[in-house]
Chains A and B, each alone.
Chain A
Amino acid sequence: MSWLRWQHSLALLVSGMFHAALIVWFQQQPPPAVANPQTLLVQLIPQSWAEQLKLSTLPPLPKSTELLPEDDAAPGMLFAGTRPRLPEPPTPKKPEVQKKLIVEADLLRPTVRKAPEPPPKLVEKPAPESEPSTSLNLSKILQELPTETSKTPEPEAPATTVVLPDSLLSDLELVALDAPENQQVSLDARRMSVVEARIYRTRLIELLAEHWEVPPHLADQDMVVEVRFVIARSGAIETGEILKKSGDRFLDRSVQGVLDSLPFLPSVPDSYPDSRYEFFLGFNPSTFPL
């Protein structure tokens, strides 16, 4: 059994490195989303099934599929990978979409194989049209499915590169989809880069540390005051409150002084998708040894 020890460790090490590389790759390059569910279906279903399902009646696929970032896959404000989930704006209910999603999910299961087989007595006893059919008519369903491209600009619109001159972000390139002048570019179509998040975090921490004055006797005291901020895109503070006090009145007062003295924080980078930015701060006066 001794041979198992080093092999065990090696396998563990290789697996860990592989997964860590996967995580880093996923955080930096989220997996491309399929713009059109039809593409997914055609890719997943074998050709023989497609023929049986009469997928030839489907509308032709676009020549080049536009890859759009997904909300969950896009990196957040922090490199550690997090962006607060703000409450989504209310969207009109579409019960049909739910129905179709279920169908789509069912299609991905192995049991879908039974679906294309036509029932033997279907011609003799056709089901009334008003009743919901138990068999799947994919061509109809897929035509009714809303595509993701409906939320975004047209795929034929070329992607342009916007360079911001004379700013902290001048060395960064924001990739945005082009749009007519009168039509506002959807913020969801933009993507926050990790570099921008780092720059913003540095600016924010430097500004707050510069305005935070602490009595010297609190140095090296490992106490934390937790603060919640909600700021507008311009950096105007909408909410700034102490969530949890440290218990030391001097430290709590110093943090309250920061909240009282700062009307603005650094404006949120243009590529941040939401209109407000909520984050939390931990004010810790401890200094770290070398």
Chain B
Amino acid sequence: MLLLRLARLLTPLLTLSAWLGLYSTVHALDYYEITNPRFTPLRVAVAMQPATSVKGLFVQSVFQSNLEQTLFFTVEESDSEAPAASPPEAPAFRLHLRVSREKPWLAFFVLRESGHEKPILEGQLEQRTGRSLRDLGRLLADRFTKATLGFPGLSFSKIAYTAQARGSRKNIMLTSYDGTQQKRFSYNLGSNNFASWDPAGKQLLYTTLTRSSAQIQLQHVDRYRAHILEFQELDRRTQPLAGSWSPDGHGLLLALMRQGSSDLYQYTFESGTLTPLVTWRSLETSPVWSPDGSRIAFVSDSARNREPQIHLYDPRTKRSERVTYKGRYNSSPRWSPDGRMLAYEGRRKGVFQIFKYDLLRRRHQQLTFGRYNSQQPDWAPNGRQLVFSSRKTGVTKLYYISAHGGPMARVTTSPPAVVETQPAWTH
């Protein structure tokens, strides 16, 4: 018995000693890991034939603006007859573009990679009925991105945001991906906020605040009139704060304010019923469905009053889980398209910064580091970029940033007097 006890006691010690001894006597070669490179966009040389074609130059400019907004490429013009440069100075890709002189507009293109004569992409794009010449450039940019980097482009995506000119109310605006086209979307006398796209990208949900009430409005993208959502179960003392779409498009998540407490409800279009989800005594706002519809991210100050933190809620198990612990103010959660990340804003040292949270690794990564507020992020449909509002230039404007951080790029070219906030990207 004593021997048995002694053996049990000594076995792990001997094992550990053997491990340590083995480890200390292993001689490996020197190995260094280089992990912090400089991220520089890929250079793309575009050669137009003929160089004086106005239509061709227009298509080229649209292609360039859409491609450079991805933050992955820089486009430069080149002479099609010039000899190719040697590899270090040569651009990564060469695109030869030719646009027909007459209708229907056709864009012929040949895309080659540096050092390879065989084209990786070639063909022609035709301007179909109902499409503008601008669409040729967008289509070309998307096909270029797909062929070179392997993920879909964003040229046809749209961004809804809240714009407020000096001395006027807030309005919902729409902008194209490259920021060259913008239009006003909401036409009412209230202050419009919190735009949310439906999964198909055809309708927008937003909140209109007036002096006496708050309303949830639903509006089709191509129409100017909105429909006010009325909830029969609500009394007059209950006000809707904001809403977001469910991933299947059959319902909404609503934050309703009642007697000083904001709670989360699920609204179904078919039945027209409101189902309470999170009705804590604290404030719960900003509910967002995960892409697979299994979880809800929301903001609650249940831990401490006026210190909102991000939580996850599972409607099936009715269990919640707190996500953010660092910082006293973390809000505006947004799911990445694959459902693996959460982007949010967090206040650090008095400045709001953009973060992303990896739900698998449970790690937070800070994406912005400026000494100005960066808030309200939202993901691109391909998950490669984020749009957010920032006071980088003293006025809050929309900016793009890569999902891995890095430099920022302005979305629109609006005048400085216009404040842009609360961006929402199409799904």
* B33 close to A (CB within 8 Å): yes
By the criterion CB–CB under 8 Å, are A279 and B32 in contact? yes
By the criterion CB–CB under 8 Å, are A12 and B13 in contact? yes
Distance, CA A264 to CA B17, complexed state (A): 43
By the criterion CB–CB under 8 Å, are A282 and B28 in contact? no
List residues of chain B with CB within 8 A of the CB of A261: 88
Distance, CA A290 to CA B405, complexed state (A): 13
* B349 close to A (CB within 8 Å): no
* B361 close to A (CB within 8 Å): yes
Of B16, B30, B38, which one neighbours A210 at CB under 8 angstroms?
Answer: B38
Of A201, A214, A220, A260, which one neighbours B38 at CB under 8 angstroms?
Answer: A214
By the criterion CB–CB under 8 Å, are A201 and B32 in contact? yes
Distance, CA A212 to CA B39, complexed state (A): 8
* A19 close to B (CB within 8 Å): yes
* A286 close to B (CB within 8 Å): yes
Q: Is the interface of B mostly helix, strand, loop or mixed?
A: mixed
| Shortest Cβ gap from B7 to chain A (Å) | 11
By the criterion CB–CB under 8 Å, are A11 and B9 in contact? yes
* A209 close to B (CB within 8 Å): yes
List residues of chain B with CB within 8 A of the CB of A278: 29-30
| Shortest Cβ gap from A276 to chain B (Å) | 12
* A83 close to B (CB within 8 Å): yes
By the criterion CB–CB under 8 Å, are B37 and A257 in contact? no
List residues of chain A with CB within 8 A of the CB of B88: 257, 260-261
A residues 253-280 near B (Cβ < 8 Å) are 254, 257, 260-261, 278-280
List residues of chain B with CB within 8 A of the CB of A19: 16-17, 20-21
Distance, CA A80 to CA B23, complexed state (A): 11
Interface centre among B24, B30, B88, B402 (most CB of A within 10 A): B30
By the criterion CB–CB under 8 Å, are A281 and B33 in contact? yes
List residues of chain A with CB within 8 A of the CB of B34: 205, 208-209, 212, 281-284
| Shortest Cβ gap from B84 to chain A (Å) | 16
* A213 close to B (CB within 8 Å): yes
By the criterion CB–CB under 8 Å, are B12 and A8 in contact? yes
Distance, CA A23 to CA B29, complexed state (A): 19
Given A215-B42, A260-B88, A289-B365, A205 and B30 contact (CB-CB distance below 8 Å): no
By the criterion CB–CB under 8 Å, are B33 and A284 in contact? yes
List residues of chain B with CB within 8 A of the CB of A282: 31-34
Distance, CA A165 to CA B27, complexed state (A): 33
By the criterion CB–CB under 8 Å, are A287 and B405 in contact? yes
By the criterion CB–CB under 8 Å, are A216 and B404 in contact? yes
* A219 close to B (CB within 8 Å): yes
List residues of chain A with CB within 8 A of the CB of B365: 287, 289-290
List residues of chain B with CB within 8 A of the CB of A218: 39
Distance, CA A7 to CA B13, complexed state (A): 12
Distance, CA A27 to CA B28, complexed state (A): 14
Distance, CA A31 to CA B223, complexed state (A): 84
Distance, CA A213 to CA B37, complexed state (A): 6
For B406, the closest partner residue in chain A by CB is: A216
Of A7, A213, A280, A290, which one neighbours B31 at CB under 8 angstroms?
Answer: A280
List residues of chain B with CB within 8 A of the CB of A219: 39, 402, 404-406
Given A12-B16, A23-B20, A282-B33, A213 and B40 contact (CB-CB distance below 8 Å): yes
By the criterion CB–CB under 8 Å, are A289 and B37 in contact? no
- Bitwise, B339-371 to A at CB < 8 A (1) or not (0) is 000000000000000000010010111100000
Distance, CA A290 to CA B72, complexed state (A): 24
Interface centre among B31, B32, B35 (most CB of A within 10 A): B32
* A54 close to B (CB within 8 Å): no
B residues 33-92 near A (Cβ < 8 Å) are 33-42, 71-72, 87-88, 92
* A76 close to B (CB within 8 Å): yes
List residues of chain B with CB within 8 A of the CB of A27: 24
Of A12, A22, A76, A250, which one neighbours B12 at CB under 8 angstroms?
Answer: A12
* B384 close to A (CB within 8 Å): yes
List residues of chain A with CB within 8 A of the CB of B361: 289
| Shortest Cβ gap from A106 to chain B (Å) | 24
* A4 close to B (CB within 8 Å): yes
List residues of chain A with CB within 8 A of the CB of B149: 217
Of B13, B36, B72, B405, which one neighbours A215 at CB under 8 angstroms?
Answer: B72
By the criterion CB–CB under 8 Å, are B12 and A214 in contact? no
List residues of chain A with CB within 8 A of the CB of B28: 80, 82
- Bitwise, B295-336 to A at CB < 8 A (1) or not (0) is 000000000000000000000000000000000000000000
List residues of chain B with CB within 8 A of the CB of A288: 35
* B103 close to A (CB within 8 Å): no
Distance, CA A201 to CA B405, complexed state (A): 27
List residues of chain A with CB within 8 A of the CB of B32: 201, 204-205, 208, 279-282
| Shortest Cβ gap from A74 to chain B (Å) | 11
| Shortest Cβ gap from B119 to chain A (Å) | 15
By the criterion CB–CB under 8 Å, are B364 and A290 in contact? yes
By the criterion CB–CB under 8 Å, are B404 and A220 in contact? yes
* B131 close to A (CB within 8 Å): no
A residues 72-88 near B (Cβ < 8 Å) are 72, 76-78, 80-85
* B8 close to A (CB within 8 Å): yes
By the criterion CB–CB under 8 Å, are A286 and B35 in contact? yes
- The 7 closest A-B CB pairs, nearest first, are A219-B404, A289-B365, A289-B363, A279-B30, A212-B37, A214-B37, A19-B20
Beyond known contacts A213-B40, A257-B88: 8 more, CB 8 A cutoff: A4-B8, A82-B29, A215-B92, A220-B403, A220-B404, A254-B37, A285-B35, A290-B363
- 9 residue pairs of the A-B complex, CB under 8 angstroms, read A23-B24, A26-B24, A216-B404, A220-B404, A250-B92, A278-B30, A279-B30, A289-B361, A290-B364
- B: residues with CB less than 8 A from A are 5, 8-9, 12-13, 16-17, 20-21, 23-24, 27-42, 71-72, 87-88, 92, 149, 151, 358, 361, 363-366, 384, 402-406
- A: residues with CB less than 8 A from B are 4, 7-8, 11-12, 15-16, 19-20, 22-23, 26-27, 72, 76-78, 80-85, 201, 204-205, 208-210, 212-220, 250, 254, 257, 260-261, 278-290
